[in-house]
Structure 1
């Protein structure tokens, strides 16, 4: 399997620091979505946060195509309730060369609100990511334009969060969010959040489906090699990216904790 379904399995495939990259892996149909989703947790997540679902009229047809693929009645909201993954739909209008977000069913976002992103083109969607426009935008645009139906790609990323909640909407400044974290408690107070993302084109409507499977674990439960990777990565994030992730507020505690967990040579 090229991408697993837990943080320890995902981190070796994730970018560390340095230059941005897509880091795509080809997936089979059987590797597309988590095979044993907690559907009760998904239902609760959507019920308690109604703004998780944001739709334009253009999302109706591809949403129904997606739901049919998953064997459920309905459209995008019902499809996302039937899987572990949050789901977004993007299409390109006939008079445009850019893809826009036309529908989102995102119960467990990583510090963003679907209503703020609906209708935006790809570059605007990724605007908060330092270096995206210069290092990655052209390649992503080319990938989206050439993606063929029947092919599935996956990738993963990581974030350090002060909470183990699957829905993370950061409130306050990073130094406030991470104020309770010390080298001694970092293993329990810091949480590693990895998004297992997939991309595929729907064959009938030609829309692109972007799924986001969120996995969260306390730092101290991870393999020593992964903890060491994270400590190195926070020191080599591209300019501005570390600030966006709040790294200055937790980097010292993470580095000190990793030093205690460094695997033998």
Structure 2
């Protein structure tokens, strides 16, 4: 299992960004075919819910496609022994998104702001990309507790100072009651969770997002990628037995606003009791 951002410390709002080695920009695993097929299905059946774009994002979107077409055969020659096949009938960001398991978001600078100008977001963690298009960083994160006062300025500075030769990455996480990757807003009512201490390892999922930021050399736009991983608690414990105690301590330190935002209120007591058993 990849990535373990829970360390047993109380939950805290922080960025935790690190320098990204571009050799590891894109991640591909055994779920590649199923994830890309799911994207293709969503773009066919729910296109307007998973893809949005503004004209100012077109140049950056094409640049993303061009970069992936060059990067993938070089980095994964066994999967792409020749040129990447691209569907030229699609918007370039759609075509790019169907090459990788990551969701792709293009941010364009407008004055002092960075706004979401195009996105193919097939695997959201209970948010709707249609609500975010055209908004700046503060507007995009408006529902996120403590964003503005704790990391709003730092996030803006990261975007402003990001350079082509110094991309970054970080890991975000949450706990959910479903392992489905496609989880738009209100996919399930948290109040309806049937979680107990006895079934928690099968009914709760540890969801991680490996996020990268890369400044595009030609357009000056920034590409935000989101690679989503989800594993049941039972799967997590096989690789990280310390997760049982750590997740309880970390979630116990979350603010009431964070608990409400992430839909943890109905599982919190059982989760903490299970963690301490």
Structure 1-normalised TM-score?
A: 0.88
Counterparts of 1:14 and 1:151, CA distance in 2: 27
Please tell me whether residue 40 in structure 1 is matched to residue 37 in structure 2.
yes
Q: Which residue, 190, 213, 235 being the options, matches 1:174?
A: 190
Structure 2 stretches lacking a partner, 5+ long:
70-83
Q: Which residue of 1 aligns with 2:204?
A: 190
Instruction: Note the C-alpha offset of 1:122.
Output: 0.3
Q: Which residue of 1 aligns with 2:249?
A: 232
Q: Which residue of 2 aligns with 1:69?
A: 67
Q: Does the 8 Å contact 1:12/1:226 carry over to 2?
A: no
Q: Which residue of 2 aligns with 1:107?
A: 122
Counterparts of 2:223 and 2:255, CA distance in 1: 28
| Residues 1:215 and 1:15: Cα distance change in structure 2 (over 3 Å) | farther
Cα deviation digits, residues 94-153 of structure 1 (max 9, x gap): xx2011100110011111111111001100101111100000000011110000012221
Counterparts of 2:209 and 2:28, CA distance in 1: 16
Instruction: Note the C-alpha offset of 1:56.
Output: 0.3
Instruction: Note the C-alpha offset of 1:173.
Output: 4.1
- Aligned residue for 2:60, secondary structure, equals helix
Q: Does the 8 Å contact 1:91/1:208 carry over to 2?
A: yes
Counterparts of 2:102 and 2:10, CA distance in 1: 25
Structure 2-normalised TM-score?
A: 0.84
Instruction: Note the C-alpha offset of 1:35.
Output: 2.8
Instruction: Note the C-alpha offset of 1:31.
Output: 1.3
Root mean square deviation of aligned Cα: 1.8
After TM superposition, the structure 1 stretch with the greater mean CA deviation from structure 2, 132-141 or 238-247, is 238-247
Q: Which residue of 2 aligns with 1:122?
A: 137
- Aligned residue for 1:11, secondary structure, equals coil
Cα deviation digits, residues 144-168 of structure 1 (max 9, x gap): 0000012221111111111111111
Counterparts of 1:52 and 1:147, CA distance in 2: 27
